[in-house]
Amino acid sequence: MTRTATAPRNRATRQKPTVSTALVLALAGAALVGSPAFCWAIQVREFQNVGAVAHVIQLSVAPVFLLTAIGTMLGVMTNRLARVIDRARVLEAKLENAPDHSVPHLHAYLATLSRRADLIGHAITLCTSTAVLVCTVIALLFVGDFLRYDMSLPVALLFIAAMMLFVSGLLSFLREIFIAKASLKIGPTSMRGSDSQGA
């Protein structure tokens, strides 16, 4: 009887240190969380994260300005394309009632307008592709900082590809300018005063 009575007491006495140890650990954890050192560590980590994001934003400023320039160029190109299309519609309307000696001149000018429209369309496509690649570069900068992954190689390759497309678009636009300048005819000759306003 004495052995069976003392056994539960021994178990109870063994469990008391476990409960007290857990209580001490809980109090220590609460004190650590509420301590100024712990709060300061959290603030430092948040400050570092904000600083990293700010650095990425600084890196993306140049591509954003490039997007502004591309948008301006796209506005100029679309305006010129609209003028070419409007001029072609006017000449096509004149072609129905034009005299026989004016038909070849009208067809030649329509062919020039078609060439100009093709070049402007190519330039708009290339500049739009440039804008898409620049937006991809900006997105990769933030994704690389968030995932802690080195995105320097894909960012560099995409930016180089974007610059090549942009240069190609500008060259195509420059060719359209040269064709418009070459087709410009000023003077009181037959059909030149009325058919050269679209240049």
Cβ neighbours of 164 (radius 10 Å)? 13
**How sure is the predictor about 188, in pLDDT bands with cuts at 50, 70 and 90?**
low
Q: State the pLDDT at residue 187.
A: 60
Residue 171: the pLDDT is 96
Q: What is the mean pLDDT of the chain?
A: 75
55-95 confidence digits (pLDDT tens): 667 766 778 888 899 999 999 999 999 999 999 898 888 88
What is the C-alpha separation between 63 and 192, in angstroms, rounded?
45
Residue 191, pLDDT score: 47
Give the Cα separation of 198 and 81 in Å (integer): 10
> What's the Cα-to-Cα distance from 98 to each of 33, 102, 161, rounded to whole Å?
90, 6, 48
> Quick check: 38 pLDDT over 80?
no
Given this model, what pLDDT does residue 94 score? 84
CA atoms within 13 A on the CB side of 46: 6
Span 13-28, pLDDT tens digits: 454 445 455 444 444 5
| Cα–Cα distance, 65 to 193 (Å, whole number) | 42
State the SS3 of the chain. CHHHHHHHHHHHHHHHHHHHHHHHHHHHHHHHHCCHHHHHHHHHHHHHHHHHHHHHHHHCHHHHHHHHHHHHHHHHHHHHHHHHHHHHHHHHHHHHCCCHHHHHHHHHHHHHHHHHHHHHHHHHHHHHHHHHHHHHHHHHHHHHHHHCCCCHHHHHHHHHHHHHHHHHHHHHHHHHHHHHHHCCCCCCCCCHHHHCCCC
**What share of the chain has pLDDT > 70, as a percent?**
63
**In 10 A of CB 186, how many CB atoms?**
9
> In this predicted model, which residue has the larger pLDDT, 38 or 180?
180
Q: Is the dihedral of CA 113, 115, 118, 122 positive or negative?
A: negative
Is the pLDDT assigned to residue 32 strictly greater than 80? no
pLDDT in tens, 126-173: 999 999 999 999 888 888 877 878 888 998 999 999 999 999 999 999
